[in-house]
Amino acid sequence: MSEIFVVIEHRLGEIRDITYEMLWKAGDLSEKLSHTVTAVLLGHEVDPIAENIKDRADKIIIYDDERLKNFNADISKEILAGLIEDLQPEITLIGNTSWGAELAPALSVKTGLPLATDCIDIAFENGKIIAQRQMYSGKIFSNVSFAKSDGYIFTIRSGVFPKDKTGDRQAEKIQKDFPAPDRELKKSFVEFVETAAGDVDIAQADLLVSVGRGIGEEENIAIVKELSEALNGILSCSRPIVDKNWLPKYLQVGTSGKSVSPKVYVAVGISGAFQHMAGLSGAGTIIAINKDPKAPIFRTAHYGIVDDLFKIVPALKEKALAAKKG
Amino acid sequence: MNIIVCLKQVPDTETQISIAADGKSISTDNIKWVMNPYDEYAVEEALQIREKFGGEVTIVGVGPKRVTESIRTALAMGADKGILVDDQAIVGNDSLGTARVLTAVIKDLDYDIILCGKQGVDDDYGIVGSMLAEFLDIPQISIAVKLDISEDGSKVTVNREVEGGTFVIEAPLPALVTAQKGLNEPRYASLPGIMKAKKKPLDVKAIADLGLDAGSVGEAGAKIEIKEITLPKPRQAGKIVEGETPQEKAANLAKFLHEEAKIL
């Protein structure tokens, strides 16, 4: 029986959503393959994190060391390469995040295992493992196969898998000693600067109200912001708004911005270019407000209003405020 | 300070992508080929570093002859020289193959910093830069939105974008940094720049010149292979919320938000 490794992503003591999503996928694969789910947790003082995921894995391998306090691809790569060599997992899952972008390719070179990045699913065809992913900013879907190997590494796109538990699991915790690095570390961590707006991370939001080119002028963004507040949601935007420097880049949805997975996404004055829609593959209900009935967004949106946003947005805000008052 | 920029040529992002008869690749008819947009940030950053520290900017590309046009574009922006690896053996390269070719070119060059785009906007893997750093055994910092080199030229400090914030990371040079949008505003090539670029050196190399085994690159060396590509399935068209007036439409949508999405 082989194993599925999930490399646990966390920051400042908090588990990132991608971790739960990967654990779900690992659980899903474990049923098909009869493999065990092994969470690999690197960090410092990570007991609460292990506690939090223990019902989502069969085994948690923990490396707890001061030197692992901040993410460092160099050390993580060394540790994981050693562990992969020891335990020979058939599948290793890593988040397709800033973390994963530095870690996974280097790990692939170090271990010699093939790597497919930014996967939206993992499937089997005639007993062979296949990665499903997108290319050309989501204009094309591709199935990728691998040269035969003892193991395979995948990085997983955020927001495509559920965050739910799978099955009944009670992980055994295994503490491992931090292997002495064979040389001095090359990089050093200086600081983490949280996004200026505090807690706004559109990737984690349940409801997004997103503004696009149709808003016309910078000062008009205020009405969309007011709508987002009335709906208890968070404001996001499409690329042209960031290109004009009207809103910061961390609010941008799409392939050059963020992939988001809100339960509800309200697109205001957004035409719905491929690059934008590709960031919405994990969204629940998409609502579009646009005066152009031919706008591509109406091909994807579940609900659409074809009208002037300057009339719809204030009216919708009033309705939302009235509903809140009950 | 000697700077190397790795360049990829990709279809213009406005191109309508269609699938070729083999079902595995895109049709290359009517494609406008351009420099990978993320590589433009890398070229611009390289030029700014040279303006401050002096030295040379070398562009390295891998691919067929048409890639020379994109290398010339980088030379017209102000880079000093170009190298293209063009060989039948590299057809079918995966990211690993491309990283091996780039390693073979760069390992013998004299460099202080290597810049790449954070990913190619064609296959969107985002692997090559990180693998190249691993092969060369130098530090890598990916997804940079700000880059500063210390006055003495010994180390680089990079703000790298992470979800919900920024990491500030320091590394000694030589190092490899991958560029994210926002790193800078790439300049356009000027007319004199374009004229000058025609005379700048652009070496074309084959696999044999690099001492690479043809079996380690191209289709033969690839560890991953695209079996099939498809167009996204069109989703069923949604429901248009009707109403006589904007107020009525908004009211009907609010009703939906209340009853079905349960958010009001």
pLDDT tier for residue A106 given thresholds of 50, 70 and 90: very high
Asked whether residue A181 carries a pLDDT value surpassing 70, the answer given is no
Per CATH, A3-176 and A202-325 having the same topology is answered yes
Cα distance between residue A145 and residue A7, in whole Å: 22
Residue B93 contacts residue B218 (beta carbons within 8 Å): yes
Nearest CA distance, A154 vs chain B (angstrom): 11
Per-residue pLDDT of chain B (264 residues; tens, 9 = 90+): 999 999 999 999 888 889 999 999 999 888 999 999 999 999 999 999 999 999 999 999 999 999 999 999 999 999 999 999 999 999 999 999 999 999 999 999 999 999 999 999 999 999 999 999 999 999 999 999 999 999 999 999 999 988 878 899 999 999 999 999 889 999 999 999 999 999 999 999 999 999 999 899 999 999 999 999 999 876 667 788 888 999 999 998 888 888 777 676
User: Is the backbone of residue A12 left (phi > 0), alpha (psi -120 to 50) or beta?
Assistant: left
Asked whether residue A187 carries a pLDDT value surpassing 80, the answer given is no
Q: What is the pLDDT of residue B236?
A: 67
Residue A129 contacts residue A190 (beta carbons within 8 Å): no
Question: A2: closest CA among A85, A90, A83?
Answer: A90
Q: What is the pLDDT of residue B182?
A: 86
**Do A145 and B257 lie within an 8 Å CB cutoff?**
no
Cα distance between residue B264 and residue B259, in whole Å: 8
Q: What tokens were used for B32? A: 């406008």
**Do B227 and A147 lie within an 8 Å CB cutoff?**
no
Residue A263 burial class via C-beta count within 10 angstroms: exposed 0-12, middle 13-18, buried 19 and up: middle
**Do B246 and A312 lie within an 8 Å CB cutoff?**
yes
Nearest CA distance, B208 vs chain A (angstrom): 23
Q: What is the pLDDT of residue B29?
A: 87
Mean pLDDT of A114-137: 94
CATH of A3-176, one of 3.40.50.1980, 3.40.50.620, 3.40.47.10, 3.40.50.11310: 3.40.50.620
Q: What tokens were used for A55? A: 């019902």
At B239, the amino acid letter reads K
**Do B239 and A303 lie within an 8 Å CB cutoff?**
yes
Cα distance between residue A139 and residue A77, in whole Å: 32
Nearest CA distance, A184 vs chain B (angstrom): 12
CA atoms within 13 A on the CB side of A269: 22
The CATH code belonging to domain A202-325 is 3.40.50.1220
pLDDT tier for residue A235 given thresholds of 50, 70 and 90: very high
Q: What is the pLDDT of residue A199?
A: 54
More confident residue, A31 or A22: A22
Q: Is A128 on the interface with B (CB under 8 A)?
A: no
Give the list of residues 6+ apart from residue A171 with CB closer than 8 angstroms, or none.
A39, A50, A53, A54, A55, A56, A57, A58, A59, A60
Identity of the highest mean pLDDT range in A68-72, A83-87, A228-232, A294-298: A83-87
Cα distances (angstroms) measured from residue A25 to each of A152, A166, B176, B200: 15, 9, 33, 52
List A residues 168-207 in contact with B (Cβ-Cβ < 8 A).
186-195, 200-201, 203-204, 207
Cα distance between residue B69 and residue B150, in whole Å: 34
Cα distance between residue A137 and residue A273, in whole Å: 10
Domains of chain B are 3-221 (3.40.50.620), 232-264 (no CATH)
Q: Residue A325's closest chain B neighbor by CA?
A: B264
Domains of chain A, residue spans = 3-176, 202-325
At A300, the amino acid letter reads T
Q: Is A69 on the interface with B (CB under 8 A)?
A: no
**Quick one: which H or E segment has residue A238?**
none
Question: A153: closest CA among A193, A93, A98?
Answer: A93
Q: What is the pLDDT of residue A196?
A: 58
**Do B223 and A147 lie within an 8 Å CB cutoff?**
yes
Diameter over CA atoms, chain B = 73
Complete edge-to-edge strand list for the sheet that includes strand A115-125: A172-176, A59-64, A36-43, A3-7, A91-95, A152-156, A115-125, A128-135, A140-146, B224-230
Cα distance between residue B186 and residue B196, in whole Å: 19
Asked whether residue A182 carries a pLDDT value surpassing 70, the answer given is no
Q: Is A15 on the interface with B (CB under 8 A)?
A: no
Q: Residue B169's closest chain A neighbor by CA?
A: A189
Give the list of residues 6+ apart from residue B179 with CB closer than 8 angstroms, or none.
B38, B39, B41, B42, B45, B115, B116, B117, B118, B144
pLDDT tens readout for residues A188-202: 778 877 765 555 788
Q: What is the pLDDT of residue A184?
A: 67
Q: What is the pLDDT of residue A80?
A: 96
Chain B residues within an 8 Å CB radius of A194:
164-165
Q: What tokens were used for B165? A: 């914030």
Residue B75 burial class via C-beta count within 10 angstroms: exposed 0-12, middle 13-18, buried 19 and up: buried
Helix (H, G, I), strand (E, B) or coil at A298: helix
ipTM of the complex: 0.90
Chain A residues within an 8 Å CB radius of B12:
none
Cα distance between residue B10 and residue A41, in whole Å: 38
Q: What is the pLDDT of residue A2?
A: 92
**Do A134 and B19 lie within an 8 Å CB cutoff?**
no
For residue B137, the 8-state DSSP code is: T
List A residues 70-89 in contact with B (Cβ-Cβ < 8 A).
71, 73-74
When CB atoms are compared, the residue of A104, A142, A186 closest to B226 is A142
Cα distance between residue A6 and residue A160, in whole Å: 16
Residue B75 contacts residue B98 (beta carbons within 8 Å): no
